Structure 1
């Protein structure tokens, strides 16, 4: 009983750290990833404002960001993290690599969602005199809303997985808790409890995202 009395506060704290890391990095990812996805879409050949060189450069950067395993990215961006936060340890420091790893992922999902919008709707708006930036705001984004929400949901779920890996190298959160109190102390029950908690968070987020996307699809 005394052992669990010691563990529970640590579990609550670790859960809070995970939600903090994922919440802040998800917000930053949306703020950066959606504009990047829009830019990838509108600069593509045959798009609203085709700029092949810029599009290829952005595509290269996004593909590079998506191809790097997150555990390697943690170490590669350590100097950037230290420059921004002042340290590479802790949940606040983990937000930097989490965001850098997730932005390219979301940008590609946004690009895919926007490309699924029927070209006829874009052409109709252009024929009515709409400016290119207005087409993005009034046609592309509204029409792609359900798909965009689904993409954001997938990204947030991925961030939870990334945050667990960040915990393994000093990022705090449930990943760190599972290693320190479960794996290192040979406590299978604590490890399983952490896994169940992570699964519960993922299922709740997935349900909320799916529910929101379905509602937007019928608006």
Structure 2
């Protein structure tokens, strides 16, 4: 079956288009005000839909962030997968990961980026043991496993927890560093150096 034949048609296509308009309007509002202060009235006016349409697609404002998170994670995973298609050493692979995550903050803006991380780590978020669903974690695990197998790295804990610690540290650095781009870049370089030193074979 061709890609054109696979595309949604009729009501389903219209539903998806409406959902995308609502999502785009909500993201724009969240960028300006943050999620907590975002006005659903302004969102639906911008999207050109009724108020009930927003809640049909997104029962709460947090659901907007969950949708955005899934899309952005998929985007980063695609870019990182392409980069890793060729052999990479550990410093270049982790550096690329840092670059892609930092670019996410640049795309979303500081307010929305912090909201996205807040909902990601929220204690009320539905829990899942399926870490394999998180494609960026999966890729970082693969980077660390390859580095370990090549003798580039020694992992103090299993690859999964090492990947999570690496990403948590990166997210924390990005959300707490509000300096200029130049100073931010220095902080990210220092973070990478620290991580690589902690992974050096003994």
- Normalized per residue, the structure richer in helix is 1
Larger Rg: 1
**Normalised TM-score (structure 1):** 0.29
